[in-house]
Structure 1
Amino acid sequence: MSHGKRSCSSSCGSLQNIKYPFHLRGDPAECGGSDFELNCEGNNTILEIHRSKYYVKDISYHDYKITLVDVNLAHGNCNLPSGSIYPGDYMETFWLEWLDIQGQATFINCSAKTNIPSYEIVPCLSKKNSTIYVIFDNFYIGNLATNCQFLYTIPLIKNHELRVFDQLKLGFQLSWNPPPINSATYAIHYCGQRMGYLDFFEMDVINGENVMTTYDMISLFSFQFDFLSCLHEEQYHQSTLTFYAATIIIIVLDITFLILVLLMIGRLLFTPLCVLSFLAYNLFKLIKPIDSVERFLQNQKALSPSRYSYNEIITITSNFKEKLGQGGFGSVYRGRHPGGYLVAVKMLSKSMGNGEDFINEVSTIGRIHHVNVVQLVGFCVEGSYRALVYEYMENGSLDKYIFNSSKAIRFLNMEKLLEIAKYVAKGLHYLHQGCNMRILHFDIKPHNILLDHNFSPKISDFGLAKLHPKSHSIVSISAARGTIGYIAPELISRSFGTISHKSDVYSFGMLLLDMAGGRRHSDLKADNSSQVYYPSWIYDKLQKVELSKNFNNFEINDLERKLCIVGLCCIQTRPVDRPSMFNVVEMLEADVDSLQMPPKPFFSSSDPMSPTNIFKENSESEQSIIVENM
């Protein structure tokens, strides 16, 4: 060992020209501080870092580099390092920092063997109950495996052609910092070296092209964060402008990168998805066109009736085993609901137009809950199949009890008929006044009055119904609707008045006359032609009795007379002369002697004012009127 004179140059073994800021122990104080003190032992120059000893193999004052090797690893022997060194761990103490370190070797001790690929076993250090592994990584090793604990970390320059201890024998390089330089270039260079530039993440090469993996992207953002943190450290406060400038540049580059990635994803992913969605949508429209009924059902906010599939309808009706009736609308079958109760299933004919009757039925009766209105349990719309599921009415419709060809059999006495009339009137009053929207039925007739097991009546068949705001007194419809014999005059010709809820009152009046007389209005087989139009005939009879006050010789009793008087009040020619359904209920509950005879609505069947003749005269000009055979 020799010392220079005032130049503070020394040497130790093969290491010559040791000079500022390094010096050997025992050199004058002006040769350097204690942080850079070296020790010469047996012709080997030693630097102590955190009480661990490292042989100094070379010092490059031009590049501020020093090459070190752990004393336990200097000869390539199977030993653990004497201590650990981490990136950036010695800047404040020794003014030493990383420089071009390509990796590190981390030794761990595991009580049980592990199959993690990155863990390389070190056989010469492992024992029966202790397995030593080494992990090669660029500064980050992640969470250790279970039953493993950390031992040491030492930097190294990777060379996969050499075994681990031969790599560690080559040593590693550190840099020491010269006095702080107030230079943006130096700060960027220093932090770039400290972070290892971008060498810490790898680019996978696939088919000759560089492909950035998710791990690479995470590593890139981690590098940016660490790089900016380095610029912001206390010793670089003089370079604050550099920090903000670097931050802005990195943010702009990241935004540009993300935009490019999104554009690539949009081109490769979103464009095909949009095209496929467009084609699928058009294919769906071709395969399954949505008709007016489906649009109606889709627009309904909440439907209380349930929707059934056609297979469920088949199950409910036991494959349409028991038919209850048939008409122009289709067929009605008896069925049993999954809940156990009986139902009536009306299968609508496929020739029923565009489904307007079906929509009317569901939209009106579906929102009604009244004891005298039949309950719609559910419906079916599947392909060309349309079905309505009602509560089952055991005794069928009223017409088969009030009409009989022999005119000798009456299944219901007059007291029961009057009771039925009151309940039907209350049901109609509810339709007109009890709902948010006024419901006009437009087809009141005996066939549409159903009777349950107790012969309690319920109004059914809302295929011709129309919803109408209560605030509007006039109803606008494009064509007359109803059944011949029950249609109000204003529905045939507007010269009689405006269409309103009074049109249902007229139909109800004809229903009362049917119930009282037990025969149809237009019985063309009647012997006396003056009796063809029953309302005119009964009016003349009642008028004579009223004038003579002789009720004993009259053919009908008081209850039948009440039905006739109320019925005649309801079929007045002008709608304004007819009572409301509320007044009708009051009249049916009043004493018959308190009722006054109304004006005669029509004179005779041959009179031009007769509804029968009116219909005949208008049938050619108004072909849109709805007629249903009874």
Structure 2
Amino acid sequence: MSKVRLTVPPRFIIVLVVLCLCCVPCRAKDHRRYCQPSSCGNIRNISHPFRLIDDPKECGDLRYNLSCENNLTVLHLYSGKYFVLAINYENATIQVADANVHKGNCSSIPPYSLSRYNFSYDDPYSTYTLKGANWFNTYRFELSKPIIFMTCETRLENISSLYVDTSPCINALSGHSFVVTESINASDLLDSCPIELMVLSSWNGTKDVNRSYIDIHNQLLYGFELSWKEGYRRRSNSYCYIDADTNEIHCYSTSVTNLFVSGAIIIAVILWTGTKVVLGVPCVIVLLIFKLKRRHLSMYSVIEEFLQSHNNLMPIRYSYSNIKKMTRGFKDKLGEGGYGSVYKGKLRSGRFVAIKMLGKSKANGQDFMNEVATIGRIHHVNVVQLIGYCAEGSKRALIYEYMPNGSLDKHIFPKEGIISLSCKEAFEISLGVARGIDYLHQGCDIKILHFDIKPHNILLDENFVPKISDFGLARLCPLDDSSLILTAARGTIGYIAPELFYKNIGGVSNKADMYSFGMLLMEIAGRRKNLNAVAAHSSQIYFPSWVYDQFSEGNEIEIEDATGEEKTITKKMLMVALWCIQMKPSDRPNSMNNVVKMLEGEVELIQMPPKPFLYPQDMPVVADESSLEKTSSSSMPFGK
């Protein structure tokens, strides 16, 4: 019987050795998964990704720190302190309860609101879990439901069964306290009952209409569940899916190191299976390249088809070679972000421009088409002008008028701590932004909803005239449409209107931009971010809440070295901002035109707004408060 001899090319052996060496640090890096489990109180198996703060740094994930206090396992989540009741590693959920809720004391309630709104896409925790997934579909299950506390002006008679009276457990200082535990529509919310607190619960107990507040308090004691599986799926440099049968996570890494590992496995298979597989690999590579090329060509054809169908657009189309000449080979870089990079350029006429080179497109080039379709059809003093664009294969660029004073965030949140804008300049910028949004909503032949109003997207020209920019998330709709249906929330956490998360408080409309403007206006007036991690007192952490409390108590806002006129202007800006950030869209001003009139009018004509449903501090707890700069609890200097 003759023997078959398989000859292996030397270069394959060299590559295999190198790849095996590359695997060593990968394995070493993953040793944190095999640390000895920790324990605290009733939680006996604290293991990856969780860790106690005293565990070695290589154990667990630092984003999932737990502490052991008085033999109780504690999770510090945003501003709240929560006791860990259980950790389920099979379905990747953790059950926690607010530390301020006590058994046998039905008047004890959480001090801070916590709702779905607080959990952004980048958070390690989620209020959803994945019930099953494959390459094509992902099924998400909501783990926790809201419990809503509200205070009504008078005792309600014959109210809906949705409202449960909290007396005698909770006695409001003024009015009467009620709680709602079911999903409700905006029409079920009473104007005389503003929302005071919203918390989470996962209790599956009685839902009988005759339930008492004691039953609801038991829900608070039971706590709520969060998932960390969503966090891993989003954060890893991998494509991950969950096996619906075993509930295990399987990931295909896209990192360079893991590509080497995958390459080593492929080569091992090649060496084992012989010549047939070796010959088949090039075919697979060619097929993958062909598919990728086809996908990119499909995206380019979508963009090209869009440009052909909108041949009446005002901007000029430039070639990529023109773009390189304008930027002198991309020498003067102004900035960069997730969208790509921005370069300073110069037209033949001598006019300076800002050229945004777009990176990888999302949704088949939708961001590029959104900007061209929106800014390309309008011209307003407070909206950045789109001069031209480039769409040449994978090269996509947008050419804007140049804004020498950059974006607004650099002036109200300066790194050096020196505020360059005067109070009057800040007011004029605010008024200009409001006018620009009003024009987008009702000044064109079609309504344009921006969905991403924030300081970074407000640009300032040489005279500090504000210009609204970045229309990548914008949506067009007819002027007579009162609401818009969206499949997912869009915008930046901290500026997104609550109706984009809570569908039952009202439809999505132009008032979503109004809410974002209110949060922006609050930051312009205060010269600080609305969430401040270094505030010495909890009442100062969330700026809108502190401002409302000052106004409702009849206190004047303290501003360093401010004249009487500047204090009046600032108060007016803050009052208007509070009206714009009301939770329910129906409680906000009717339109941005009304907001403009409020800013242009006298502060005495602005009524005190209701207390908006203010979201809690979206930040981790600061461990060492002694190192923080202390400020007075009765005053908060602006611009610090």
Answer with 1 or 2: which has the greater Rg. Answer: 1
- Which fold has the larger relative contact order, with Cα–Cα distance below 8 Å and residues 6 or more apart in sequence? 2
